Structure 1
Amino acid sequence: MSDARGKAGVSRIDAKFAALRAEGRGALGIFVSAGDPDFETGLAILKGLPGAGADMIEFGMPFTDPMADGPAIQESSQRALKAGMTLTGVLEMVRAFRAGDQDTPMILMGYYNPIYSYGVDRFIEDALASGVDGLIVVDLPPEEDRELCLPALARGLGFVRLATPTTDDVRLPAVLKNTAGFVYYVSIMGITGTAEVPTDLVTKAVERLKRHTDLPVCVGFGITTPEQAAGIARCADGAIVGTAVVKTIKASLDHEGRATEATVSDTLGFVRGLADGVRGARRPAPHA
């Protein structure tokens, strides 16, 4: 049994969504960049996320050219890199997190270049040993599955794929073919954190995706408030919030971009508000 597996041989991701279905609610996924604004503060935030209500964590692998991310997440990545974060450091943080939490799904999110430089086989082995459950690599399309996706899946490391408003029914089977864990639906076009999520359109999109896959569908990009998170949690299997979280981190820093006494508490307080919204959102009962 690989280290990406939880109790009874069921992956942490699968186990989490099964538990949430039993509760009748959607998941709250939280994105933070590893090591933002520094290793110690970032680790304190990471360790505090489950207690603040995060059901799963997307852990950003800082990269110098995060082309799919908006300004706020780009800045969070730059802060982490400036503080000395590396891919080795990311995995070290996951190991430290796993020392106190064996249940919360942890998905690494980022770009292929750092993984390629690290070495694909070595990365997969080290990610599993650290306690990583899945990967989101935004610049590897299905046509490049042999690069990372298939080797990862063969070892029991989930590969989560993005679907967008322009992913039509012709393209969708290729996107879903080797997807594992859940499908990440990008609710708006463009880069992260630059527009509000259109809940009515998302509802229709989730319904369409559900006709093509039995995997949970989580929605991200554009969710900034507890009310928006609740709205998404009613129509999808999960709401993922990133930009608003890293903006909260930034707002707590001093004029030189360093952590203050408020950084951890402000960030976790914001996540608690999102979690309250999601937990208060009742989902329609599934059809018999």
Structure 2
Amino acid sequence: MSQTRLDTRFAALAAEGRPGLVTFITAGDPDTETSGKILAALPGAGADVIELGMPFTDPMADGPAIQAASLRALHAGQTMVKTLAMVRDFRRGDDTTPIVLMGYYNPIYSYGNARFLADAKAAGVDGLIVVDLPPEADDELCLPARDAGLAFIRLATPTTDDKRLPAVLANTAGFVYYVSIAGITGTAAPDATKVGRAVARIKAHTPLPVAVGFGVRTPEQAAAIGAEADAVVVGSALVQAVERSLDSDGRATEATVGAVSALVASLASGVRRAHAA
């Protein structure tokens, strides 16, 4: 497939000699307008790549924080049409920061695969992470996505052994997402030493960058993981920053966008400390 913004960004990070910061937010959380403002603020705060969650009623790989974010978004009326519109709006002001849509297959299937791929590409999406589509189902969405010019990003986990890894990597593009803990998102802290060994093992099988996520919450953790990986992914901590900023009725406040931006800035400083070290 042709080069995407992901390839360009990771090449620039490699040239700079530092890991990237990948930030996850849920589209439409706590409402479409506020979510759009958060999205627009992420690059300026230090995000190198953005994962935009597609809300779903049953996000089985996610912990309570991202589950709650999905429900807030859905209750506020978020749809796939609105999520793609958020990307289009973002692209009017930023044509360089990569955006990856992350979530589950059901909302894509309901939208219609061919329509989704065409609309996502036209909106300015660069890649997809669909956590419940295994390599055995590549014909379903992965290969059509790559034909449409969208990177299909796979997850590897602590239980992905050397026998399974080639199948996981076979049609992966953009980067490999290494899940640093066994379990759901946001429930445990990663061990940097174990992460380093896992990243080295994955890199023995692929030239793709390896981003590490699940459990990173602080600048110190970001620095430790960034010293071992090509990028650090933070999600649950950011959606919790959204949640903590809401009023008693669950609505956005004047503090909501700034709360997320401030946390991203602190995490970005941690990632850059990994480079300095």
Compute the TM-score of the two structures, normalised by the length of structure 2.
Answer: 0.98
Length, aligned pairs only: 277
Question: Identity over the aligned pairs, expressed in percent?
Answer: 65
Is 1:263 the equivalent of 2:256? yes
Alignment-derived partner of residue 16 in structure 2: 23
Is 1:147 the equivalent of 2:140? yes
Structure 1 runs, 4 residues or longer, greater than 4 Å off: none
- 2:131 corresponds to which of 134, 138, 141: 138
Runs of 5+ consecutive residues of structure 2 not aligned to the other structure = none
> Which whole-Å deviations, capped at 9, do the CAs of 1:51-86 have from their partners, x for residues lacking one?
000000000000011000000000001000011000
CA distance in 1: counterparts of 2:49 and 2:142, whole angstroms: 21
Please give the secondary structure, in 1, of the residue aligned with 2:189: coil
Amino acid at match of 2:176: V
- 1:165 corresponds to which of 158, 168, 185: 158
CA distance in 2: counterparts of 1:283 and 1:240, whole angstroms: 19
Q: Is the 8 A contact 1:233 1:283 kept in 2?
A: no
CA distance in 2: counterparts of 1:36 and 1:93, whole angstroms: 12
Alignment-derived partner of residue 51 in structure 2: 58
- 1:240 corresponds to which of 228, 233, 238: 233
Match runs of 1:156-195 below 5 Å = 156-195=149-188
CA distance in 1: counterparts of 2:82 and 2:250, whole angstroms: 20
CA distance in 2: counterparts of 1:283 and 1:204, whole angstroms: 21
Match runs of 1:42-81 below 5 Å = 42-81=35-74
Cα distance, 1:226 vs structure 2: 0.5
Match runs of 1:81-96 below 5 Å = 81-96=74-89
Task: Give the CA RMSD over aligned residues.
Answer: 1.1
> Which whole-Å deviations, capped at 9, do the CAs of 1:108-158 have from their partners, x for residues lacking one?
000001101111000000000000000000000000001100100111110
Please give the secondary structure, in 2, of the residue aligned with 1:57: strand
CA distance in 2: counterparts of 1:231 and 1:185, whole angstroms: 15
Runs of 5+ consecutive residues of structure 1 not aligned to the other structure = none
Cα distance, 1:280 vs structure 2: 1.8
Amino acid at match of 2:111: Y
Please give the secondary structure, in 2, of the residue aligned with 1:281: helix
Match runs of 1:28-47 below 5 Å = 28-47=21-40
CA distance in 2: counterparts of 1:199 and 1:227, whole angstroms: 11
Amino acid at match of 1:106: I
Amino acid at match of 2:224: G
Alignment-derived partner of residue 270 in structure 2: 277
Cα distance, 1:282 vs structure 2: 2.0
CA distance in 2: counterparts of 1:230 and 1:153, whole angstroms: 32
CA distance in 1: counterparts of 2:240 and 2:75, whole angstroms: 17
Amino acid at match of 2:64: P
Cα distance, 1:44 vs structure 2: 0.4
Cα distance, 1:283 vs structure 2: 7.0
CA distance in 1: counterparts of 2:272 and 2:123, whole angstroms: 30
CA distance in 1: counterparts of 2:200 and 2:269, whole angstroms: 25
CA distance in 1: counterparts of 2:193 and 2:50, whole angstroms: 26
Amino acid at match of 1:281: A
CA distance in 1: counterparts of 2:150 and 2:12, whole angstroms: 20
Cα distance, 1:10 vs structure 2: 3.2
Please give the secondary structure, in 1, of the residue aligned with 2:188: coil
Is 1:202 the equivalent of 2:195? yes
CA distance in 2: counterparts of 1:155 and 1:253, whole angstroms: 38
Amino acid at match of 2:178: Y
CA distance in 2: counterparts of 1:169 and 1:56, whole angstroms: 28
